[in-house]
Amino acid sequence: MITGLELGGAEALLLELCREDRRRGRATVVASLLSEGPMRRRFAEIGVEVVGLGMRRGVAAATGPIRLARLIRRRRPRIVQGWLYHANLAALAASWLAALWPRPKLAWSILGAVPDFARYPPRLRRAVGLGARLSPLVDGILYNSRVALDEHARFGFRARLSRFFPNGVDLARFHSQPGLREAIRQDLGLPDDAVAVIAVGRSDPMKNWPGMLAAAEAAGHNVWLIAVGDGTERLPAGSRRLLLGRRDDMPALYAASDIFMLASDFGEGTSVAQIEAMACGLPVVVTDVGDNGLVAEGAGLVVPPRDAAALARALAELVADPAWRARAGQAAAACASARFGADRLYAGVAEFYDALLAGSSLSGRLPGAGWNQPE
């Protein structure tokens, strides 16, 4: 159960989980509160059924949970998994409305640290606060960063099981492809001597786009910023800025780039885009928000959030040293390959599901509930 089907990290994680489920012969149905979105096609391509619930963003309605309850009664799943705050609440409501016995196990996922509520409409604070109050009714909660788990625990989230799982990407898709570099750079209109800094994320207060624009502007006359993500096409234009908006050709764009930058001020769990870029051999400049700093160790530079001078200085240092960039890029690719493949993602979630179905704690060796075993 997911909020929507936009191009984003949470959606990409869910796609990889579903892909791994399909490879293992397991049936998964994805229900989306918001029916349409560019990722819907990607789920269909791997053979996953997607059910749109027809809700509208920012409009509370009972129709979505009621439709989901009917779907639960019809399909009788073993587990109902919420994916993001609003979908978590809808999954809880629908599970109880479905009135099945035995009841499917109910799990939530939280894919970021506690937001800065002052930067968002009040409905987000209400949703997170309601989630905290209702969390004891949930069988388990998945978090994609240790920081997210700790911050939500302090905020009041409680469940029978709480589990951190590592992000994972499709390493067959995201890997170093130097043969693509020249052609893609020509298509983008990048000069031969350009140092291309790619930044990926929706236009959102947490992402600190003004800070990244300023850092790229200050890093050198040959530095070009490639901005990718929903709403980035509306960022302020500049002579060395490519504001691309939504794109579905990320491996090619990473191949054309020299550095990955992510300067979030708050709210990150673990960035999927950062791991994709590292898998493609890019050194990184990131802020120490969520687990991004831990992931970036040895693969570039980590700076404090909300420190514009430190961000600009770090980016300029990496721009000025091609040999350092090459070494950090190799380390980044090795880290992603060893720690962040889709198989690791699936194994972490499958272990969590085994514990849910067994009704046990996650400590020690898990009972053989069979979720991660072939059927």
72-88 pLDDT, tens digit per residue, is 999 999 999 999 999 99
Find residue 163's DSSP bridge partners.
Answer: 142
Q: Tell me, what's the pLDDT at 262?
A: 98
To the nearest 10°, report the CA torsion of 126, 128, 133, 138.
Answer: 140
The separation between CA 245 and the C-alpha centre of its own chain, rounded to angstroms, equals 17
Q: Where are the domains of the chain?
A: 9-168+342-358, 178-339
Q: Tell me, what's the pLDDT at 59?
A: 57
| Lowest-pLDDT choice from 41-55, 140-154, 177-191 | 41-55
Q: Tell me, what's the pLDDT at 60?
A: 57
Asked whether residue 52 carries a pLDDT value surpassing 80, the answer given is yes
* Side-chain-side CA neighbours of residue 281 (13 Å): 16
Confidence category of residue 166, pLDDT binned at 50, 70, 90: confident
Per-residue pLDDT tens digits for 237-253 = 999 999 999 998 999 99
| Lowest-pLDDT choice from 51-55, 134-138, 228-232, 319-323 | 51-55
Q: Tell me, what's the pLDDT at 25?
A: 85
Question: How far apart are alpha carbons 20 and 22 in whole angstroms?
Answer: 5
φ/ψ bin of 268: left (φ > 0), alpha (ψ from -120 to 50), beta (otherwise): beta
Q: Which two tokens stand for residue 281?
A: 């051999």
Confidence category of residue 268, pLDDT binned at 50, 70, 90: very high
Closest-CA residue to 95 (of 126, 148, 138): 138
Q: Tell me, what's the pLDDT at 81?
A: 95
Q: Tell me, what's the pLDDT at 66?
A: 87
Confidence category of residue 36, pLDDT binned at 50, 70, 90: confident
User: Mean pLDDT across the stretch 336-353?
Assistant: 92
- 88 contacts 108 by C-beta, under 8 angstroms: yes
Cis peptide before 102 (omega within 30 of 0): yes
Percent over 70 (pLDDT), the chain? 94
Asked whether residue 172 carries a pLDDT value surpassing 90, the answer given is yes
> In the 8-state DSSP scheme, what is residue 83?
B
Close Cβ partners of 298 (under 8 Å, ≥ 6 residues apart): 328, 331, 332, 335
Question: How far apart are alpha carbons 151 and 64 in whole angstroms?
Answer: 29
E strands, 167-325, are: 195-200, 223-228, 241-245, 259-262, 284-287, 300-303
Q: Identical fold at 9-168+342-358 and 178-339?
A: yes
Closest-CA residue to 255 (of 194, 178, 331): 178
Asked whether residue 368 carries a pLDDT value surpassing 50, the answer given is no
Closest-CA residue to 221 (of 146, 148, 320, 296): 320
Q: Tell me, what's the pLDDT at 27?
A: 82
Asked whether residue 6 carries a pLDDT value surpassing 90, the answer given is no
In CATH terms, the fold of domain 9-168+342-358 is Rossmann fold (3.40.50)
Q: Tell me, what's the pLDDT at 65?
A: 82
Q: Tell me, what's the pLDDT at 363?
A: 36
Confidence category of residue 222, pLDDT binned at 50, 70, 90: very high
pLDDT mean across residues, the chain: 91
User: Mean pLDDT across the stretch 36-58?
Assistant: 85
3-state secondary structure (DSSP) of residue 131 = helix
φ/ψ bin of 183: left (φ > 0), alpha (ψ from -120 to 50), beta (otherwise): alpha
User: Mean pLDDT across the stretch 149-160?
Assistant: 95
Confidence category of residue 256, pLDDT binned at 50, 70, 90: very high
Question: How far apart are alpha carbons 109 and 158 in whole angstroms?
Answer: 13
In CATH terms, the fold of domain 178-339 is Rossmann fold (3.40.50)
Q: Tell me, what's the pLDDT at 369?
A: 35
Q: Which residue has the tokens 């937001």?
A: 115
Asked whether residue 120 carries a pLDDT value surpassing 60, the answer given is yes
CB atoms within 10 A of CB 146: 14
Asked whether residue 5 carries a pLDDT value surpassing 60, the answer given is yes
Q: Which two tokens stand for residue 330?
A: 């190799």
Asked whether residue 297 carries a pLDDT value surpassing 60, the answer given is yes
Q: Tell me, what's the pLDDT at 61?
A: 60
Q: Tell me, what's the pLDDT at 365?
A: 32
| Lowest-pLDDT choice from 20-34, 114-128, 248-262, 333-347 | 20-34
Q: Which two tokens stand for residue 355?
A: 């514990």
User: Mean pLDDT across the stretch 122-131?
Assistant: 95
Q: Tell me, what's the pLDDT at 202?
A: 93
- Please give the model's pTM, rounded to 2 decimal places: 0.89
Asked whether residue 232 carries a pLDDT value surpassing 50, the answer given is yes
3-state secondary structure (DSSP) of residue 152 = helix
